[in-house]
């Protein structure tokens, strides 16, 4: 399984791949498409040079921003050309997740499918997206199976639909069997506890929770989130067990992190989390490497 570490913003100085091997990075196209100067810099330098990363770079479409009240005024045509000009290896087609369970899912499925066809005519390696709930996924898959895409992304339910992990996992399973010839990419991977449930169905996934967990004083371990800082004493996660403390010490040794800095420093916690989630999908590394 390939994991794409989410990087937001793309120019963030914290780059986990400078410390250990990372196979993929996911960046939102939205931050480029809505900033002309930033977009031109990216095209001029190339997305790999901008990230200082020579592995696989996938661009998210940015369609989710519309649900957050942001303007998304670029077309599938403009997005596809930016993907080509920036040198990204793959991209999610311009998709718009459902806003409400009362939304017209038929029209939404048609719009997302049309955007995929427009982008697919311009660039290779564009991923159409299937969205939870199953009612919408069924409409989208009915169109996609006719064109047999090699790669399909699956998006989970958004918060204003009162999402459940179970519904998203059911959509992943349904998509994997309905489009059994396609590789499945999971958008916005939920967390370590759910990795085991979908690991055999999913070819790749992206995850940016390593940053969010660090911001709230959490670290990620194979069994889930653990809190290690006092300022988050009311957090939902437990403190690490004795056996988990041994894992923490081992990872700190691999990354040359000091345990006290892990307690105090966001960057150290974020780097720790990125390593753990990355190693859950790939073989653990012995020492840090430089790209």
Considering the domain architecture, whether residues 231 and 253 belong to the same structural domain is answered as yes
In the numeric block, the tokens 């990795």 are attached to 195
Residue 255 and residue 289 in contact, taking contact as beta carbons nearer than 8 Å? no
Considering the domain architecture, whether residues 49 and 17 belong to the same structural domain is answered as yes
Considering the domain architecture, whether residues 152 and 176 belong to the same structural domain is answered as yes
Q: What is the pLDDT of residue 151?
A: 95
Q: What is the dihedral of CA 259, 260, 262, 266, to 10 degrees?
A: -160
* Phi, psi dihedral angles at 33 (to 5 degrees): -65, -25
Q: What is the pLDDT of residue 110?
A: 97
Residues of the domain holding 97: 2-207
Number of domains in the chain: 2
Instruction: Kindly report whether the global pTM for this prediction surpasses the value 0.95.
Output: no
Considering the domain architecture, whether residues 32 and 149 belong to the same structural domain is answered as yes
> Could you report the per-residue pLDDT of 235-278, keeping only the tens digit for each?
678 889 999 999 999 999 999 999 999 988 999 999 999 999 99
Considering the domain architecture, whether residues 285 and 197 belong to the same structural domain is answered as no
The answer, yes or no, to whether the previous bond of 141 is cis (omega within 30 of 0) is: no
Considering the domain architecture, whether residues 35 and 140 belong to the same structural domain is answered as yes
Tokens of 242: 């004795």
Tokens of 223: 């069994």
Longest dimension (CA), the chain: 55
Residue 28 and residue 63 in contact, taking contact as beta carbons nearer than 8 Å? no
Q: What is the pLDDT of residue 172?
A: 87
Considering the domain architecture, whether residues 56 and 169 belong to the same structural domain is answered as yes
CA distance 136 to 139: 5
Asked which of 207, 238, 270 is the last residue of a domain, the reply is 207
Asked which of 184, 207, 230 is the last residue of a domain, the reply is 207
CA distance 52 to 50: 6
**For residue 77, what is the domain's CATH number?**
3.20.20.105
Considering the domain architecture, whether residues 49 and 22 belong to the same structural domain is answered as yes
Asked which of 207, 233, 249 is the last residue of a domain, the reply is 207
Q: Please give the C-alpha separations between residue 166 and each of 201, 202, 209, in angstroms, as whole numbers.
A: 15, 16, 19
In the chain, how many H helices and how many E strands? Answer: 12, 11
Residue 67 and residue 110 in contact, taking contact as beta carbons nearer than 8 Å? no
pLDDT averaged over 10-residue windows placed end to end, the chain, 291 residues: 88 93 94 93 96 96 70 90 97 89 92 96 95 92 95 72 67 89 85 68 89 90 86 76 94 94 93 92 48 44
CA distance 118 to 151: 16
CA distance 202 to 195: 9
CA distance 51 to 61: 18
Q: What is the pLDDT of residue 209?
A: 87
Considering the domain architecture, whether residues 81 and 178 belong to the same structural domain is answered as yes
Residue 59 and residue 90 in contact, taking contact as beta carbons nearer than 8 Å? yes
Considering the domain architecture, whether residues 10 and 110 belong to the same structural domain is answered as yes
Considering the domain architecture, whether residues 177 and 222 belong to the same structural domain is answered as no
Sheet of 56-60: strand order equals: 126-127, 90-92, 56-60, 24-28, 2-6, 204-207, 183-186, 151-155, 129-131
CA distance 212 to 258: 21
Considering the domain architecture, whether residues 85 and 18 belong to the same structural domain is answered as yes
Q: Please give the C-alpha separations between residue 256 and each of 243, 288, 289, in angstroms, as whole numbers.
A: 20, 8, 12
């Amino acid at each position: 399984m390939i994991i794409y570490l989410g990087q937001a913003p793309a120019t963030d100085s914290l780059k986990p791949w400078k410390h250990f091997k990372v196979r993929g990075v996911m960046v939102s196209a939205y931050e480029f498409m809505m900033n002309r100067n930033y977009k031109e810099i990216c095209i001029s330098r190339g997305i790999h040079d901008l990230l200082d990363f020579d592995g696989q770079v996938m661009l998210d479409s940015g369609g989710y921003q519309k649900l957050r009240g942001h303007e998304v005024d670029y077309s599938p045509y403009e997005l596809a050309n930016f993907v080509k000009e920036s040198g990204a290896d793959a991209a999610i087609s311009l998709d718009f997740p459902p806003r409400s369970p009362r939304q017209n899912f038929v029209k939404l499925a048609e719009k997302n499918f049309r955007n995929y066809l427009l982008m697919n005519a311009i660039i290779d390696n564009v991923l159409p997206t299937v969205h939870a709930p199953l009612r919408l996924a069924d409409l989208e898959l009915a169109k996609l199976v006719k064109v047999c895409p090699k790669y399909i992304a699956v998006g989970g339910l958004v918060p204003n639909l009162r999402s459940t992990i179970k519904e998203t996992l059911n959509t992943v399973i349904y998509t994997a069997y309905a489009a059994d010839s396609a590789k499945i990419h999971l958008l916005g991977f939920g967390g370590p506890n759910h990795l085991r449930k979908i690991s055999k169905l999913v070819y790749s996934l992206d995850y940016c929770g390593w940053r969010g967990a660090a911001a709230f004083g959490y670290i990620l371990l194979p069994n889930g989130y653990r809190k290690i800082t006092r300022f988050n004493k009311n957090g939902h996660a437990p403190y690490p067990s004795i056996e988990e403390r041994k894992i923490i010490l081992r990872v700190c040794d691999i990354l040359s992190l000091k345990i006290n800095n892990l307690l105090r420093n966001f960057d150290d916690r974020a780097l720790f989390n990125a390593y753990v989630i990355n190693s859950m999908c790939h073989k653990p590394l012995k020492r840090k490497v430089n790209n």
